[in-house]
Structure 1
Amino acid sequence: MSKQVEFFFDVGSPYSYLAFHELPKIAARRGAEIKWRPMLLGGVFQATGNHSPVTIPAKAVHLNVDLERWAKHFGVTFQMPRVFPINTLPLMRGAVAMQRSGPKQFHRYLAAVFAAMFEHPRNLGEQAELASVLEEAGFDPAQFVALINDPAVKAELKDTTEEAVRRGVFGAPAFFVGNEMFWGQDRLHFVEQALA
Protein backbone atom coordinates (compact mmCIF):
# COMPACT_ATOMS: atom_id res chain seq x y z
CA MET A 1 0.00 0.00 0.00
CA SER A 2 1.37 3.41 -0.89
CA LYS A 3 -1.19 5.40 1.10
CA GLN A 4 -0.37 5.85 4.77
CA VAL A 5 -1.80 7.65 7.78
CA GLU A 6 0.30 8.20 10.88
CA PHE A 7 -1.65 7.96 14.13
CA PHE A 8 -0.07 9.70 17.14
CA PHE A 9 -1.93 8.60 20.26
CA ASP A 10 -1.87 8.05 24.01
CA VAL A 11 -4.04 5.38 25.66
CA GLY A 12 -5.05 7.88 28.35
CA SER A 13 -6.84 10.01 25.77
CA PRO A 14 -10.53 9.11 25.37
CA TYR A 15 -10.54 10.70 21.93
CA SER A 16 -7.59 8.45 20.96
CA TYR A 17 -9.74 5.51 22.12
CA LEU A 18 -12.50 6.59 19.72
CA ALA A 19 -9.99 6.98 16.88
CA PHE A 20 -8.50 3.57 17.69
CA HIS A 21 -11.86 2.07 16.75
CA GLU A 22 -12.72 4.30 13.79
CA LEU A 23 -9.42 4.85 11.96
CA PRO A 24 -8.97 1.19 10.88
CA LYS A 25 -12.37 1.34 9.14
CA ILE A 26 -11.28 4.43 7.20
CA ALA A 27 -7.92 2.86 6.33
CA ALA A 28 -9.69 -0.28 5.06
CA ARG A 29 -12.09 1.77 2.93
CA ARG A 30 -9.25 3.79 1.42
CA GLY A 31 -6.70 0.99 1.04
CA ALA A 32 -4.31 2.77 3.39
CA GLU A 33 -1.82 1.58 5.97
CA ILE A 34 -1.87 2.93 9.54
CA LYS A 35 1.51 3.79 11.01
CA TRP A 36 0.92 3.57 14.77
CA ARG A 37 2.89 6.22 16.70
CA PRO A 38 2.66 5.81 20.50
CA MET A 39 3.61 9.09 22.22
CA LEU A 40 3.40 10.46 25.75
CA LEU A 41 0.61 13.02 25.85
CA GLY A 42 1.87 14.45 29.15
CA GLY A 43 5.19 15.19 27.44
CA VAL A 44 3.40 16.86 24.54
CA PHE A 45 1.37 18.99 26.95
CA GLN A 46 4.51 19.98 28.85
CA ALA A 47 6.36 20.94 25.66
CA THR A 48 3.48 22.90 24.11
CA GLY A 49 1.81 24.47 27.15
CA ASN A 50 -1.43 22.61 26.41
CA HIS A 51 -3.56 21.00 29.13
CA SER A 52 -6.08 18.21 29.46
CA PRO A 53 -9.63 19.50 28.86
CA VAL A 54 -10.62 18.16 32.30
CA THR A 55 -8.51 20.91 33.87
CA ILE A 56 -10.79 23.56 32.37
CA PRO A 57 -14.05 23.51 34.40
CA ALA A 58 -16.44 24.49 31.58
CA LYS A 59 -14.88 21.93 29.23
CA ALA A 60 -14.84 19.24 31.92
CA VAL A 61 -18.61 19.58 32.38
CA HIS A 62 -19.20 19.10 28.64
CA LEU A 63 -16.56 16.40 28.12
CA ASN A 64 -18.69 13.39 29.12
CA VAL A 65 -21.60 14.51 26.96
CA ASP A 66 -19.33 15.06 23.97
CA LEU A 67 -17.56 11.72 24.40
CA GLU A 68 -20.85 9.84 24.75
CA ARG A 69 -22.16 11.48 21.56
CA TRP A 70 -19.03 10.48 19.63
CA ALA A 71 -19.06 6.94 21.03
CA LYS A 72 -22.67 6.55 19.91
CA HIS A 73 -21.81 8.02 16.50
CA PHE A 74 -18.94 5.53 16.04
CA GLY A 75 -20.93 2.66 17.58
CA VAL A 76 -18.54 1.90 20.42
CA THR A 77 -18.97 1.34 24.15
CA PHE A 78 -17.71 4.23 26.27
CA GLN A 79 -17.53 4.92 29.97
CA MET A 80 -15.46 7.65 31.59
CA PRO A 81 -13.10 6.30 34.27
CA ARG A 82 -13.65 7.46 37.86
CA VAL A 83 -9.91 8.10 38.21
CA PHE A 84 -8.92 10.42 35.36
CA PRO A 85 -6.44 11.42 34.11
CA ILE A 86 -3.70 8.99 35.15
CA ASN A 87 0.03 8.94 34.46
CA THR A 88 0.25 6.90 31.26
CA LEU A 89 4.06 6.66 31.12
CA PRO A 90 4.16 2.89 31.94
CA LEU A 91 1.25 2.20 29.57
CA MET A 92 2.83 4.08 26.68
CA ARG A 93 6.22 2.47 27.26
CA GLY A 94 4.24 -0.77 27.17
CA ALA A 95 2.75 0.22 23.80
CA VAL A 96 6.24 0.82 22.40
CA ALA A 97 7.53 -2.46 23.84
CA MET A 98 4.60 -4.44 22.43
CA GLN A 99 4.95 -2.75 19.04
CA ARG A 100 8.57 -3.93 18.98
CA SER A 101 7.28 -7.47 19.70
CA GLY A 102 5.13 -7.48 16.56
CA PRO A 103 1.69 -6.35 15.32
CA LYS A 104 -0.28 -9.20 16.93
CA GLN A 105 1.07 -8.49 20.43
CA PHE A 106 0.74 -4.74 19.90
CA HIS A 107 -2.91 -4.81 18.87
CA ARG A 108 -3.86 -7.28 21.60
CA TYR A 109 -2.18 -4.98 24.13
CA LEU A 110 -3.91 -1.84 22.82
CA ALA A 111 -7.31 -3.54 22.76
CA ALA A 112 -6.89 -4.69 26.39
CA VAL A 113 -5.62 -1.35 27.69
CA PHE A 114 -8.15 0.81 25.83
CA ALA A 115 -10.97 -1.48 27.02
CA ALA A 116 -9.75 -1.23 30.62
CA MET A 117 -9.54 2.54 30.28
CA PHE A 118 -12.79 3.40 28.53
CA GLU A 119 -15.10 0.38 28.09
CA HIS A 120 -15.10 -1.19 31.55
CA PRO A 121 -12.92 1.33 33.40
CA ARG A 122 -10.30 0.13 35.85
CA ASN A 123 -7.64 2.22 37.52
CA LEU A 124 -4.59 1.39 35.41
CA GLY A 125 -2.60 3.88 37.47
CA GLU A 126 -2.50 1.20 40.17
CA GLN A 127 0.21 -1.40 39.55
CA ALA A 128 -1.86 -4.33 40.86
CA GLU A 129 -4.83 -3.44 38.67
CA LEU A 130 -2.61 -3.07 35.60
CA ALA A 131 -0.99 -6.44 36.34
CA SER A 132 -4.45 -8.01 36.54
CA VAL A 133 -5.51 -6.52 33.18
CA LEU A 134 -2.27 -7.69 31.56
CA GLU A 135 -2.68 -11.23 32.91
CA GLU A 136 -6.28 -11.40 31.69
CA ALA A 137 -5.05 -10.40 28.20
CA GLY A 138 -2.38 -13.12 28.21
CA PHE A 139 0.66 -11.01 29.10
CA ASP A 140 3.18 -11.74 31.85
CA PRO A 141 3.19 -8.72 34.24
CA ALA A 142 6.77 -9.40 35.38
CA GLN A 143 7.98 -9.52 31.78
CA PHE A 144 6.03 -6.31 31.09
CA VAL A 145 7.89 -4.51 33.89
CA ALA A 146 11.21 -5.65 32.40
CA LEU A 147 10.19 -4.52 28.92
CA ILE A 148 9.11 -1.03 29.97
CA ASN A 149 12.40 -0.54 31.80
CA ASP A 150 14.43 -1.35 28.67
CA PRO A 151 16.47 1.80 27.83
CA ALA A 152 15.70 1.35 24.11
CA VAL A 153 11.95 1.37 24.80
CA LYS A 154 12.25 4.48 26.98
CA ALA A 155 14.32 6.24 24.30
CA GLU A 156 11.89 5.35 21.51
CA LEU A 157 8.89 6.77 23.37
CA LYS A 158 10.84 9.95 24.17
CA ASP A 159 11.99 10.30 20.55
CA THR A 160 8.50 9.80 19.11
CA THR A 161 7.05 12.33 21.58
CA GLU A 162 9.71 14.89 20.65
CA GLU A 163 9.12 14.20 16.95
CA ALA A 164 5.39 14.76 17.42
CA VAL A 165 6.04 18.14 19.05
CA ARG A 166 8.51 19.14 16.31
CA ARG A 167 5.87 18.35 13.70
CA GLY A 168 3.24 20.52 15.40
CA VAL A 169 1.31 18.01 17.54
CA PHE A 170 -0.21 19.60 20.65
CA GLY A 171 -2.80 16.98 21.66
CA ALA A 172 -4.15 13.51 20.95
CA PRO A 173 -5.15 12.01 18.69
CA ALA A 174 -3.18 13.55 15.84
CA PHE A 175 -2.96 12.18 12.31
CA PHE A 176 -0.64 12.88 9.41
CA VAL A 177 -1.28 12.11 5.78
CA GLY A 178 1.99 13.12 4.18
CA ASN A 179 2.94 16.41 5.82
CA GLU A 180 -0.64 17.45 6.53
CA MET A 181 -1.71 17.21 10.17
CA PHE A 182 -5.25 16.62 11.41
CA TRP A 183 -6.02 16.88 15.11
CA GLY A 184 -8.88 15.16 16.90
CA GLN A 185 -11.20 12.26 16.10
CA ASP A 186 -13.74 14.82 14.87
CA ARG A 187 -11.43 15.54 11.90
CA LEU A 188 -11.33 11.93 10.71
CA HIS A 189 -13.54 12.81 7.73
CA PHE A 190 -10.73 15.14 6.59
CA VAL A 191 -8.24 12.28 7.08
CA GLU A 192 -10.43 10.12 4.87
CA GLN A 193 -10.63 12.84 2.23
CA ALA A 194 -6.84 13.17 2.26
CA LEU A 195 -6.52 9.41 1.74
CA ALA A 196 -9.12 9.31 -1.04
Structure 2
Amino acid sequence: MVIAADRLGLPALELSHALLRALWSEEKDVTQPEVRIEVANALGLDGEKLGEMEEAPEIMQAWLDSHEEARQRGVFGTPTWIYKDVLYWGQDRLSFLDEALSED
Protein backbone atom coordinates (compact mmCIF):
# COMPACT_ATOMS: atom_id res chain seq x y z
CA MET A 1 0.00 0.00 0.00
CA VAL A 2 2.86 2.37 0.81
CA ILE A 3 4.49 1.69 -2.55
CA ALA A 4 1.18 2.32 -4.31
CA ALA A 5 0.80 5.62 -2.45
CA ASP A 6 4.31 6.62 -3.44
CA ARG A 7 3.63 5.78 -7.09
CA LEU A 8 0.56 8.05 -6.99
CA GLY A 9 2.53 10.92 -5.44
CA LEU A 10 0.66 10.59 -2.14
CA PRO A 11 2.26 10.96 1.31
CA ALA A 12 3.78 7.47 1.47
CA LEU A 13 6.00 8.25 4.45
CA GLU A 14 3.00 9.48 6.44
CA LEU A 15 1.11 6.32 5.51
CA SER A 16 4.08 4.18 6.52
CA HIS A 17 4.24 5.88 9.91
CA ALA A 18 0.49 5.50 10.39
CA LEU A 19 0.71 1.78 9.61
CA LEU A 20 3.60 1.34 12.06
CA ARG A 21 1.64 3.26 14.70
CA ALA A 22 -1.37 1.01 14.07
CA LEU A 23 0.84 -2.05 14.49
CA TRP A 24 2.95 -1.04 17.48
CA SER A 25 0.80 1.45 19.41
CA GLU A 26 -2.72 0.32 18.60
CA GLU A 27 -1.90 -3.40 18.28
CA LYS A 28 -3.82 -3.71 15.01
CA ASP A 29 -3.12 -6.52 12.57
CA VAL A 30 -1.80 -4.60 9.57
CA THR A 31 -1.50 -7.85 7.61
CA GLN A 32 -5.27 -7.60 7.17
CA PRO A 33 -6.29 -5.58 4.09
CA GLU A 34 -9.24 -3.97 5.87
CA VAL A 35 -6.92 -2.60 8.57
CA ARG A 36 -4.60 -1.05 5.98
CA ILE A 37 -7.59 0.43 4.17
CA GLU A 38 -8.89 1.89 7.45
CA VAL A 39 -5.51 3.43 8.23
CA ALA A 40 -5.23 4.96 4.76
CA ASN A 41 -8.79 6.29 4.92
CA ALA A 42 -8.06 7.91 8.29
CA LEU A 43 -5.33 9.92 6.55
CA GLY A 44 -7.80 11.08 3.91
CA LEU A 45 -6.42 8.72 1.28
CA ASP A 46 -8.48 6.37 -0.88
CA GLY A 47 -7.77 3.15 1.00
CA GLU A 48 -9.84 1.02 -1.36
CA LYS A 49 -7.88 2.21 -4.40
CA LEU A 50 -4.56 1.74 -2.65
CA GLY A 51 -5.64 -1.70 -1.49
CA GLU A 52 -6.50 -2.70 -5.05
CA MET A 53 -3.16 -1.42 -6.29
CA GLU A 54 -1.29 -3.66 -3.85
CA GLU A 55 -2.00 -6.62 -6.11
CA ALA A 56 -0.74 -4.98 -9.31
CA PRO A 57 2.29 -6.84 -10.73
CA GLU A 58 4.51 -3.75 -10.78
CA ILE A 59 3.67 -2.95 -7.12
CA MET A 60 4.29 -6.55 -6.07
CA GLN A 61 7.62 -6.56 -7.94
CA ALA A 62 8.68 -3.30 -6.28
CA TRP A 63 7.81 -4.83 -2.88
CA LEU A 64 9.79 -8.00 -3.67
CA ASP A 65 12.76 -5.93 -4.87
CA SER A 66 12.64 -3.84 -1.69
CA HIS A 67 12.39 -6.96 0.45
CA GLU A 68 15.41 -8.49 -1.27
CA GLU A 69 17.45 -5.29 -0.87
CA ALA A 70 16.56 -5.20 2.83
CA ARG A 71 17.55 -8.86 3.24
CA GLN A 72 20.88 -8.26 1.52
CA ARG A 73 21.56 -5.28 3.80
CA GLY A 74 20.81 -7.34 6.92
CA VAL A 75 17.47 -5.81 7.88
CA PHE A 76 15.59 -8.15 10.17
CA GLY A 77 12.56 -6.15 11.31
CA THR A 78 10.74 -2.86 11.28
CA PRO A 79 11.26 -0.10 11.77
CA THR A 80 14.84 -0.08 10.51
CA TRP A 81 16.85 2.85 9.19
CA ILE A 82 20.16 2.59 7.38
CA TYR A 83 22.55 5.51 7.56
CA LYS A 84 26.13 5.21 6.29
CA ASP A 85 25.73 1.44 6.14
CA VAL A 86 24.80 1.23 9.85
CA LEU A 87 21.47 -0.34 10.85
CA TYR A 88 19.29 1.47 13.39
CA TRP A 89 16.25 -0.53 14.39
CA GLY A 90 13.32 -0.08 16.72
CA GLN A 91 12.30 2.98 18.67
CA ASP A 92 15.13 2.56 21.16
CA ARG A 93 17.71 3.14 18.42
CA LEU A 94 16.32 6.48 17.23
CA SER A 95 18.51 8.39 19.65
CA PHE A 96 21.59 6.69 18.14
CA LEU A 97 20.43 7.63 14.63
CA ASP A 98 19.76 11.19 15.74
CA GLU A 99 23.27 11.38 17.20
CA ALA A 100 24.80 10.08 13.95
CA LEU A 101 22.83 12.58 11.90
CA SER A 102 23.84 15.43 14.21
CA GLU A 103 27.52 14.64 13.71
CA ASP A 104 27.26 15.42 9.97
TM-score by length of 2: 0.70
Match 1:171 to one of 66, 77, 94: 77
Instruction: Give the deviation of 1:130 after TM superposition.
Output: 4.0
User: Secondary structure at the residue paired with 1:187?
Assistant: helix
Q: Percent identity?
A: 27
CA distance in 1, matches of 2:22, 2:59: 23
Change (3 A) 1:151 1:182: same
Say which one has the larger Rg.
1
Measured after TM superposition, the shift of residue 162 of structure 1 is 1.0
Shift of 1:125: 4.4
Among 34, 38, 42, the residue aligned to 1:136: 42
Q: Distance in 1 between matches of 2:55 and 2:20?
A: 21
Q: Distance in 2 between matches of 1:101 and 1:166?
A: 27
Q: 1:187 aligns with which of 86, 93, 103?
A: 93
After TM superposition, the structure 1 stretch with the greater mean CA deviation from structure 2, 160-169 or 112-121, is 112-121
- SS in structure 1 of the partner of residue 11 of structure 2: helix
The Cα offsets for residues 105-143 of structure 1, whole Å up to 9 and x where unpaired, read as: 214423543444344454544444443443333222331
Whole-angstrom CA distance in 2 between matches of 1:107 and 1:172: 14
CA distance in 2, matches of 1:141, 1:167: 31
Give the Cα–Cα distance (whole angstroms) in 1 for the partners of residues 87 and 56 of structure 2. Answer: 31
Corresponding position: 1:98 with 2:98: no
> How many residues get paired?
102
Mark the runs of 5 or more structure 2 residues left unpaired by the alignment: none
CA root-mean-square deviation:
2.7
**SS of residue matched to 1:138:** coil
List alignment gaps of at least 5 residues for structure 1: 1-93
8 Å CA contact 2:33–2:51 kept in 1: the answer is no
